[in-house]
Amino acid sequence: MFGKPRQVQRKLYRGQVPYSATQSLQDNCYDEVMRADILVGIIGGRYGSVSEEDIYSVSMKEIRTAIKNNKQVFIFVEKSVLSENRIYQLNKDSHDIKFAHVDNVKIHKFIEEIQSLKINNAMVGFESATDITDFLKEQFAGLFQRLLQDKATITEQTTLYDLNETINYLKNVADNIKNENEIFTNKFNGSIFAINSAVQKITKSIGIKSGFLLAHNKVALIELLNHLGFNEVEDVNDEDSSPFDTVLKNWTSEFIKVLTISDELFSVEGNIKDIRKPEQLEQYIKYEERPREQFENVGPDDDLPF
């Protein structure tokens, strides 16, 4: 504060401003302004202490320091001085004019400098200390409300940011799992040990309950079925023979087991297709057990003389 208007009294208490032994009291005051969040400047008609390093007073330089560093500044000007400043604006080029409410024309020059700023240049006229305190109460209430709104906005933005980060993280995790599964599936399906759905269907159809067949192409599948007693029908005159299917039969003492596998089950290269739909498996794989006594010619063994 600079100037001591008649209605406003200021008492200085020793120790209010921390100071360093390596700096002057003025410099300590300027440093304290740098640390402040809000500065209240009061301009009266008296110039005050002259700054050692500036054309303005110490209080003027404090206000300029706060404005320069984008501090929240409230500047109060005694109404008589503020009114007289209009006269100064009209006669500032005159060197003979004298002013009644200020003891130094630099006060009016400083007011003019503050008013010329694009931002943080508001000045409020006052007549008493009550005018200042009432105005500050309203301003502080508004600042506190804005602080709460800004805090809520920041919290919402932070929450939204965290959610977006979490979503992106989960998406990356899901993509990685999908890619790893695809890589694993490709490797697994290319392996000779892959358990194909069609092979599982054949395994259950021919009555294997406690195990399963392992094959990845037609050659391996037929070889396995041969070991289990199923032989491919090569006689075109056989009633079950088909140009579009692979027919295998297993002759037992009681039954003729007939396994018919459609050629649609195999790729051009002879690999077993990965067919998952049950209705397609039922169409491509057919199994039948026929009682042997129903047939007169049950097989090549009947032609033997013993």
DSSP letter string, 126-189: ESSHHHHHHHHHHHHHHHHHHHHHHHHHHHHHHHHHHHHHHHHHHHHHHHHHHHHHHHHHHHHH
- Separation of CA 202 from chain center: 50
Q: Which residues in the chain come in under a pLDDT of 70?
A: 1-28, 51-55, 120, 184-195, 210-213, 294-306
Closest CA to 38 of 147, 197, 167: 147
pLDDT at 21: 53
pLDDT at 123: 84
106-115 and 79-91 helices cross at what angle (nearest 10)?
90
CA distances, 241 to each of 198, 284, 288 (Å): 21, 15, 14
**Are 283 and 263 spatial neighbours (Cβ–Cβ below 8 Å)?**
no
By DSSP bridging, strand 72-78 and strand 38-43 are parallel
pLDDT at 20: 55
- Phi, psi (deg, nearest 5) at residue 145: -65, -45
The answer, as to whether pTM is greater than 0.75, is no
pLDDT at 34: 78
Residue 90 CB-half CA count within 13 A: 6
By DSSP bridging, strand 72-78 and strand 123-126 are parallel
pLDDT at 275: 85
pLDDT at 22: 56
Closest CA to 73 of 60, 84, 55: 60
pLDDT at 230: 92
pLDDT at 15: 47
Dump pLDDT digits (tens) for 148-198: 777 777 777 777 777 778 778 878 888 888 777 777 665 555 444 446 788
**Where do the structural domains in the chain lie, given as residue ranges?**
25-127, 197-303
